[in-house]
Structure 1
């Protein structure tokens, strides 16, 4: 007699499986459901996949939606302007230094290239000697571009 309930339980268990749908909303949030009404427009998962019943972690609120605390340190507008002016002066000085270094590096490349004539310039030995000088020119050019960009971003 005990085998009959066990046999009935085994026969009924495949019927207990539900269809599971994976839904992705406009914000990209993924939701899983077994409700056919909510499952419209969602993708049905294959039945051979295991389904976890672990709840999703709570959503984090973005820091942009949180107000700035009242005790957060504030900078007076005059102090900020003075800081911005100092920053501009430092960047302009660095730019002048980099432009001078770039001019020197370009002059050094030109002097070295002037020592070699025609096809001689294309020789691997000559190219190997000139490459460090060209690399220095390229480095100074990138620095000048970065400093100009940074100055352009200032208010």
Structure 2
């Protein structure tokens, strides 16, 4: 078993992902890394990649590093003044508070629906207890989802204190 794993690992480095194109009688095209009788090897150009960071010229490196560490953003990244940022944070906080209020109301509604759902059994559920359990479980899941949303919003509001 160890030899097989070793052989597989060694062969991974040797494979250079040759690709073969095969067109059957019906015009269906098949691409494969395994040679197919009648298939033709195709040459793929290397994938283009781009760096996510722009290189900093050597003579500005010291200034760029001090600018990025002073405000916590990379050099050349657009900055806004403190007043604009406070205004944005305030707007964001209002949105989060409204979402929290909506979720709390939805939790109350889901809790009521769960209580009502537990108290009653629909016609077909009197003979099929599993249907009742499945329906009640969905109601419980709705309550749990609302509670998780509320926790996440409260956590976010705690991080967004001004």
Q: What is the TM-score when the length of structure 1 is the normalising length? A: 0.50
Structure 1 CA distance for aligned equivalents of residues 103 and 138 of structure 2: 17
Render the CA deviation track for 1:8-44: whole Å, top value 9, x for unaligned: xxxxxxxxxxxxxxxxxxxxxxxxxxxxxxxxxxxxx
Structure 1 CA distance for aligned equivalents of residues 112 and 94 of structure 2: 27
Partner of 2:92: 87
Q: Which has the larger radius of gyration?
A: 1
Q: CA deviation at 1:70?
A: 6.2
> Which of 84, 105, 111 does residue 106 from structure 1 map onto?
111
Q: Aligned pair 1:145/2:151, yes or no?
A: yes
Specify every segment of 5 or more residues in structure 1 that has no aligned partner in the other structure, as ranges. Answer: 1-64
Structure 1 CA distance for aligned equivalents of residues 155 and 75 of structure 2: 34
Specify every segment of 5 or more residues in structure 2 that has no aligned partner in the other structure, as ranges. Answer: 1-63, 69-73
Q: What is the TM-score when the length of structure 2 is the normalising length? A: 0.48
Q: How many residue pairs get matched?
A: 86
- CA-atom RMSD, angstroms? 2.2
Q: CA deviation at 1:104?
A: 0.4
Partner of 1:132: 138
Q: CA deviation at 1:114?
A: 1.5
